[in-house]
Amino acid sequence: MSRDELMEEGNRLIARAQALDNKEKSIKLACQSRLKSIPKNATIRKEFVKCKKPNCYRQQHGPYYYAYWKDPETKKLKKRYIGSQCTKRDLSIAP
């Protein structure tokens, strides 16, 4: 490989790393914003979801985090998806 080709490859790798970093940051921000809209009496659970695709080699996907709480007006159990990339620190900061 020539020097220019190596430089191009390096620049592509740097751009890819930056894109992955930006994606990770946006996922984390989305998780934090979802946590803000959850009431204080919510219980947060880690769940695995069964895959329904016939050719999928994995039996379950996850973990995914969900918040459960009882709505005081309708007396019904509510469930809201929080995210799959939430850290324990994010979940402990939840209201």
**What is the arithmetic mean of pLDDT over 4-20?**
90
Domain tally for the chain?
1
The candidate with the shortest Cα–Cα distance to 62, out of 78, 46, 44, 80, is 46
**What is the arithmetic mean of pLDDT over 13-20?**
89
**What is the arithmetic mean of pLDDT over 20-37?**
78
The candidate with the shortest Cα–Cα distance to 46, out of 88, 94, 78, is 88
The candidate with the shortest Cα–Cα distance to 84, out of 38, 46, 39, is 46
Residues 64-90: pLDDT tens digits? Answer: 889 999 988 999 999 998 888 776 556
Mean pLDDT of the chain: 83
CA 33 – CA 60 distance, rounded (Å)? 26
Domain of residue 26 covers 3-93
Residues 32-58: pLDDT tens digits? Answer: 777 777 888 888 898 998 888 888 888
**What is the arithmetic mean of pLDDT over 21-33?**
77
CA 33 – CA 51 distance, rounded (Å)? 27
